[in-house]
Homo-oligomer: A and B are copies of this chain.
């Protein structure tokens, strides 16, 4: 079954509001074995809406339309649907009862304008709205089943789950194709390098469509596949994961699409290890990401954002001579920062960053994008320099933080392998 989605409203058309309804609907439909082919948005403009509804009905097996079912004058979806289907608008007694019940429930008088919400295209079937005033409706135009729902996300979501999905199931009968999207998280290769390493994926896995998504600074590798048998899909995915991991090696930091901070968190938890962080150029971002993971208070003991040299000296015990001789962005300073934070916190690992996020502060010697990362462990301390070519402050903070967490991740895996 092929589906299309239409979201209506001037705030979406003009860009004042980002349409998140369509993504939600697409996910639900795809998970139910319906292939979503196109999304559309249009404003509260009758000729455009009529045109779009007719086009969708001509192309797709089903469609979901959101918005424009309210009581005000700019709510014109039902009228457009009636015109598109060449039928009159008629009062739906069931819808009228539901609207009256809604106002009884919230204890407010029903206003005359709400009666308008009970008028549907002739032949349409009312869809109950369990939480709002606007019922939806299901209408057949040609060979296409169209579901019209309000645009309020909470109402739309409930009606999708409680009414639209069961109706689709009935239409599908036994002939259901399961769909699966699987994501792997990678870091360290460019999108094009990733693509080249996986160039012969299609011949190895002809039933999986491969996709790439740059979710800076990660590159996500995505599998899109569908078939009638859930277990067969999962088996195919497991084989494809192994295949991709062989090609991309250590760049795959999560075969199940997890974030770097949760991967690091899991590794620390498994090893009963604790962490302390000294951030200069990353300005607290590593700590923020690490603490986004629930339970991070079990392994993150302490983290210091030591922007000023005085803070590096007083809090981390970096020596004034080191700062004078080598500067804040140096192997020597970041080494002392990593050792200093580990010792101050009494943690197993001490992670430190010092670099130039920009846009100012770069030099020929140390351009914007330069970062030193230090990692202190029970067995010593290592420091590495990386130079990224971004001029943008936030981009540099993101990639510095990711690189630092990745260095910790590699250390945690290595320690494990040596045991």
What residues make up the interface of A, taking CB atoms closer than 8 Å to B?
Answer: 9-20, 22-30, 36-45, 48, 52, 70-74, 105-108, 111-114, 131, 133, 152, 154, 179, 181, 183, 190-196, 199, 202, 209-214, 216, 222, 224, 277, 279, 282-288, 290-292, 294-297, 300-308, 310-311, 314-315, 344-346, 358-360, 387, 389, 392-395, 397
* Cα of A238 to Cα of B94 in the assembled complex, Å: 43
For residue A287, which residues in chain B have a CB less than 8 angstroms away from its CB? 279, 283-284, 287-288, 305
- A11 in contact with B308 given A196-B111, A284-B284 (CB within 8 Å): no
- In the bound complex, do residue B305 and residue A310 qualify as a contact, i.e. CB atoms below 8 Å apart? no
- In the bound complex, do residue B16 and residue A39 qualify as a contact, i.e. CB atoms below 8 Å apart? no
* Closest-CB distance, A272 to chain B (whole angstroms): 15
For residue A282, which residues in chain B have a CB less than 8 angstroms away from its CB? 288, 291
Name 26 A/B residue pairs within 8 A (Cβ), A-sorted: A13-B37, A14-B26, A14-B36, A15-B30, A16-B181, A16-B211, A38-B40, A70-B212, A71-B191, A74-B209, A107-B389, A114-B192, A131-B392, A133-B192, A154-B392, A284-B286, A284-B287, A284-B291, A285-B288, A292-B393, A297-B308, A302-B310, A303-B304, A303-B307, A305-B305, A315-B344
Listed residue (A17, A27, A302, A307) with the most chain B CB atoms within 10 angstroms of its CB: A307
Listed residue (A286, A345, A395) with the most chain B CB atoms within 10 angstroms of its CB: A345
Contacting A193 at CB < 8 Å: which of B40, B48, B111, B191? B111
For residue A111, which residues in chain B have a CB less than 8 angstroms away from its CB? 192-193, 196
Known contacts A18-B18, A297-B308, A301-B308; 12 further A-B pairs (Cβ under 8 A): A11-B213, A13-B38, A16-B27, A18-B20, A39-B39, A40-B41, A70-B195, A279-B287, A283-B290, A284-B286, A295-B360, A297-B307
* Cα of A39 to Cα of B296 in the assembled complex, Å: 42
For residue A222, which residues in chain B have a CB less than 8 angstroms away from its CB? 10-11, 16
* Closest-CB distance, A409 to chain B (whole angstroms): 19
* Closest-CB distance, A115 to chain B (whole angstroms): 10
- In the bound complex, do residue B39 and residue A40 qualify as a contact, i.e. CB atoms below 8 Å apart? yes
* Cα of A212 to Cα of B17 in the assembled complex, Å: 9
* Cα of A87 to Cα of B388 in the assembled complex, Å: 39
* Cα of A191 to Cα of B214 in the assembled complex, Å: 33
Closest B residue, CB atoms, query A359: B294
- In the bound complex, do residue A38 and residue B52 qualify as a contact, i.e. CB atoms below 8 Å apart? yes
Q: What is the interface of chain A mostly: helix, strand, loop, or mixed?
A: mixed
* Cα of A288 to Cα of B202 in the assembled complex, Å: 42
- In the bound complex, do residue B15 and residue A24 qualify as a contact, i.e. CB atoms below 8 Å apart? yes
Closest 7 CB pairs of A and B: A283-B291, A284-B287, A15-B26, A72-B195, A302-B311, A15-B27, A284-B284
- A305 in contact with B283 given A16-B27, A48-B37 (CB within 8 Å): no
For residue A394, which residues in chain B have a CB less than 8 angstroms away from its CB? 292
- In the bound complex, do residue B224 and residue A16 qualify as a contact, i.e. CB atoms below 8 Å apart? yes
- In the bound complex, do residue B290 and residue A300 qualify as a contact, i.e. CB atoms below 8 Å apart? no
Contacting A74 at CB < 8 Å: which of B9, B210, B294, B345? B210
For residue A314, which residues in chain B have a CB less than 8 angstroms away from its CB? 344
- A307 in contact with B301 given A24-B15, A36-B14 (CB within 8 Å): yes
* Cα of A209 to Cα of B74 in the assembled complex, Å: 9
For residue A214, which residues in chain B have a CB less than 8 angstroms away from its CB? 152
* Cα of A282 to Cα of B292 in the assembled complex, Å: 9
- In the bound complex, do residue B304 and residue A305 qualify as a contact, i.e. CB atoms below 8 Å apart? yes
- In the bound complex, do residue A302 and residue B306 qualify as a contact, i.e. CB atoms below 8 Å apart? yes
Closest B residue, CB atoms, query A220: B11
Contacting A39 at CB < 8 Å: which of B12, B301, B315? B12
* Cα of A37 to Cα of B20 in the assembled complex, Å: 19
